[in-house]
Amino acid sequence: MRRTRREPRRTLNEPTESIRRLEEKIAYLERHVTEQDKAMLEMSDALKRVSRELKRLREREAGGGTGGGGEESAAEERPPHY
């Protein structure tokens, strides 16, 4: 059986290079996780704000809102330019 490809010889520097590459990958992944954590916190805060606003709007709608009649009267209301 003939080999078409020769295996490269290992030098003492190669394990150091492999470790350096692994350290770079770990650093990249750690930074990526930190960025994802920040994004998740921002989305969580936004979701809380939207939930509070939705609750407020539902309470306003259930209580009759400001302007009485709800959606039906708003649809029947004429625009101010008439």
For residue 27, the model assigns a pLDDT of 97
- In this structure, is residue 74 part of a structural domain? no
Instruction: Compute mean pLDDT per 10 residues along the chain, 82 residues long, and list them.
Output: 63 82 97 98 97 96 67 65 70
pLDDT score of 73: 60
Q: Under a CB-based contact definition with an 8 Å cutoff, are residues 73 and 67 in contact? A: yes
Is 3 among the domain residues? no
70 located within any domain: no
Is 39 inside a domain boundary?
yes
The reply to whether 7 falls in a domain is no
Q: Which amino acid is at 49?
A: R
Query: pTM above 0.95?
Result: no
33: in domain? yes
Structural domain contains residue 24: yes
Q: Report how far residue 42's alpha carbon sits from residue 64's, in angstroms, rounded to the nearest whole number.
A: 33
Q: What is the pLDDT of residue 64?
A: 75
Is 67 a member of any domain? no
* Exposure string over 51-72, b if 16+ CB within 10 A, otherwise e: eeeeeeeeeeeeeeeeeeeeee
pLDDT computed for residue 65 by the predictor? 58
Domain count, the chain: 1
Domain with 51, as residue range(s), is: 14-62
